[in-house]
Structure 1
């Protein structure tokens, strides 16, 4: 167990608890007739609060029509006040849902609004049973996607509804289509290095500078079935070896050698331009990314995920969630609201991106120009 300021402890498990096991499932296809309810949500206020308030007004038109619900949002603009404001709001009973993140899980000054702390203090509600009955889309997604289920656990219960996609360091290589040899498999970093030699001989380069050093460290940690410990802030120290289930020194793993091989390839074939326009720069033959979210939308390249036999680990501190107050007046409606936002395409786009042709546009099926608005659900589920 990981202790938080010596006041509470938690652990992460893999299975969704099901207190209704053996009973006939009663997951409604529709929400049915609902009486009017208001749900109050507290979350950080960003620089575009006026626009976010406008989005909430538009969103309420949809929620009122479809689930007879109005959303009231309390924007907390003083981030430094979050550790005191969030617990106080949960205690007051004046707020149904609050924002929570685990970024400060091991920070003695800010841990008070992390999900494990709120759960173990009895301030938020375990929602797995409610999710099964009132949020069928969320329930299915949590059963299908290990990533989100894993990050929302405290001990044996689900306490959070994922607020955004967590950061996952998985290598994806992008190769110009006319440079991919027939029947050549690109599955590992070694395949990338071999291809770099071949491409360089034809006058093309490898855009290797797109990854920060820490991103590389995460990638090679995952490839070697290791995990960064919570206090791992620098390169060195100890990591968790999953294969042998023991704590080992960083120097005793292959991670350092892997990073040296990467930098040798960079030195030999790399382009040093930090802002590469892949559509315009015809020198780029191959590029490496650490997330599907960073891959550019271009028709001139093929994309290959690497090391797909590995389960890429996610730092529990990356979990960002909306949590339901233990004093919520209608937690069932809170679950229905979030399920609706996840599963209705129009509400989903509005909550994520704002108003179409005002905050963002859609060009050739791709979202352009939007800033993340009220919620940040984008990329999580396919509604």
Structure 2
């Protein structure tokens, strides 16, 4: 977050001019603004920020107990009452507050979440993310703007620990509305393979598209009842499950949004977008996929496959599948525990390419614009992310029951671990996160190697707003499912004809209209950097 001198002087002037009135209001931040008649969310946020600045030169007033309400995504854990009962005892001691959580179940959270804001319901804190309405609600005035003064005073531990770039990544139109998570992640995908089968056929180590092709074709030919690659395109996914690796990562591209086929080169400072389906690289990839299909690396019925790819691999029915590093690391640990007769390994097919770090807004917490308790809300977020006792409790549950601590930074699941899981407590991921003691060393080594290759680029935090082209986006999505998926899985005999038909159908669906809108937004975004 950039500290601008003019803005600072303006805030000082405002505080001086309003100091008498604000002092008279007293109490928790935002309380004065909420005595007014119902106003817009943006106006509420502005009033709250003014009110909380009244105590800039004094310690926070904790004399009055506050009951906070938090909005989280995911199902309510079975042992929520027990865990948060202990949490509230700690919060009462530390900030004279308690918290109650409302859980929005995974099945319908995307419908209910924006309605909570539209109705200006009574809650103080909400989980949010770049995939969970952060930019949308920030622009609509759903969140309190978080100034440097607010953070330094009411979330000092977070302010000290958070990297500068993380704050910058979380800005929307130059303003901050989220306390992002503070946790290093890389979004690149990797592949889990049966290392015992690779060794059986004396194949080279798998570390490139070419060595991977040799591996899956050999397994498909030599192992009856085992497919070379497991995929699950039947859930509406518009891309081949290897595309992120073999199309994006291999070419140092970044896809704007997985609902449309537009990308840009990572090192292109102008951010010129292009249709990936209309590139030589895509044509080459189609030939690669066709070769795998001809060699029966996957079934001809793959597009209707509804099986769990990991369970198929665990059952010995498939020899590889692609996912993010964290997921495959846990799969590897599970396989070693449950099926030690199978030797598996995580392989990176693009080890020398640029790596994309997950932006800080992948997970985070924000203060609702209608909150009457802005200061105490920030203090709670600060503790969740940085107080070890509270972080451990809310992330892993009760020691000895839900988890067993192992040193300061590792844990093993406890006998009741399944009774405290499944909701978005990753909103306060931080440097205090523990790692499962069974987490494979090799996964850590891969991540460590990636960190030196993480590439920060101008459009890292850009989010496409499809408000004006929703119909075209929907039409293009339908074309992708109908024409691109069969083409990529090698089900079309004539690749050139199939690719030409795909492009023709995209044009009819309105892809040029999307391109114009997208490029216009990118140009404006870069102009404001």
Larger radius of gyration: 2
State the alpha-carbon separation in 2 of the partners of residues 97 and 167 from structure 1.
24
- Cα deviations across residues 276-320 of structure 1 (Å, max 9, x unaligned)? 55896567655432342244024433323443532337699x855
- TM-score for both structures, normalised by structure 2: 0.50
* 2:344 pairs with 1:301: yes
For residue 179 of structure 2, what is the aligned residue in structure 1? 161
Contact 1:348–1:377 at 8 Å: present in 2 too?
no
Structure 1 pair 33–151 and aligned structure 2 pair: CA distance change class (3 A): closer
For residue 342 of structure 1, what is the aligned residue in structure 2? 385
For residue 310 of structure 1, what is the aligned residue in structure 2? 354
For residue 208 of structure 1, what is the aligned residue in structure 2? 229
Structure 1 pair 81–278 and aligned structure 2 pair: CA distance change class (3 A): closer
For residue 11 of structure 1, what is the aligned residue in structure 2? none
* 2:210 pairs with 1:190: yes
For residue 28 of structure 1, what is the aligned residue in structure 2? none
For residue 17 of structure 1, what is the aligned residue in structure 2? 2
For residue 351 of structure 1, what is the aligned residue in structure 2? 394
Q: Which structure carries more strand by proportion?
A: 1
Structure 1 pair 175–275 and aligned structure 2 pair: CA distance change class (3 A): closer
State the alpha-carbon separation in 1 of the partners of residues 126 and 428 from structure 2.
19
State the alpha-carbon separation in 2 of the partners of residues 347 and 259 from structure 1.
51
The one of 277, 285, 290 aligned to 1:258: 285
Please state how far the C-alpha of 1:87 moved relative to its aligned partner. 4.9
- TM-score for both structures, normalised by structure 1: 0.65
For residue 239 of structure 1, what is the aligned residue in structure 2? 263
- Cα deviations across residues 249-284 of structure 1 (Å, max 9, x unaligned)? 222332453355246436636466745558965676
Contact 1:208–1:287 at 8 Å: present in 2 too?
yes
State the alpha-carbon separation in 2 of the partners of residues 255 and 380 from structure 1.
38
- Cα deviations across residues 23-47 of structure 1 (Å, max 9, x unaligned)? xxxxxxxxx9983552523415755
State the alpha-carbon separation in 2 of the partners of residues 82 and 124 from structure 1.
17
For residue 275 of structure 2, what is the aligned residue in structure 1? 249
Please state how far the C-alpha of 1:338 moved relative to its aligned partner. 1.7
Q: Following superposition of structure 1 onto structure 2, how do residues 41-60 of structure 1 map, counting pairs within 5 Å?
A: 41-43=69-71, 47-48=75-76, 51-60=79-88
For residue 13 of structure 1, what is the aligned residue in structure 2? none
SS in 1 for 2:345: strand
- Cα deviations across residues 196-222 of structure 1 (Å, max 9, x unaligned)? 456668759665214645343444234
Structure 1 pair 362–196 and aligned structure 2 pair: CA distance change class (3 A): farther
Q: Following superposition of structure 1 onto structure 2, how do residues 167-178 of structure 1 map, counting pairs within 5 Å?
A: 169-178=187-196
For residue 288 of structure 1, what is the aligned residue in structure 2? 322
State the alpha-carbon separation in 1 of the partners of residues 430 and 294 from structure 2.
36
Contact 2:144–2:368 at 8 Å: present in 1 too?
yes
Please state how far the C-alpha of 1:154 moved relative to its aligned partner. 0.6
* 2:103 pairs with 1:61: no
Q: Following superposition of structure 1 onto structure 2, how do residues 21-100 of structure 1 map, counting pairs within 5 Å?
A: 35=62, 37-38=65-66, 40-43=68-71, 47-48=75-76, 51-74=79-102, 80=111, 82-89=113-120, 95-100=123-128
For residue 145 of structure 2, what is the aligned residue in structure 1? 125
- Cα deviations across residues 203-250 of structure 1 (Å, max 9, x unaligned)? 5966521464534344423443333345x625x5x4334444312122
Task: Number of aligned residue pairs: give it.
Answer: 340
For residue 40 of structure 2, what is the aligned residue in structure 1? none
SS in 1 for 2:273: strand
Please state how far the C-alpha of 1:170 moved relative to its aligned partner. 1.9
- Cα deviations across residues 310-354 of structure 1 (Å, max 9, x unaligned)? 2337699x8554212456555343233222212344433432354
Q: Where in structure 1 are there 5+ consecutive unaligned residues? A: 1-15, 21-31, 106-113
Contact 1:176–1:302 at 8 Å: present in 2 too?
yes
Q: Which structure carries more helix by proportion?
A: 2
Contact 1:240–1:247 at 8 Å: present in 2 too?
yes
- Cα deviations across residues 133-158 of structure 1 (Å, max 9, x unaligned)? 544553466418x6x65652212233
SS in 2 for 1:310: coil
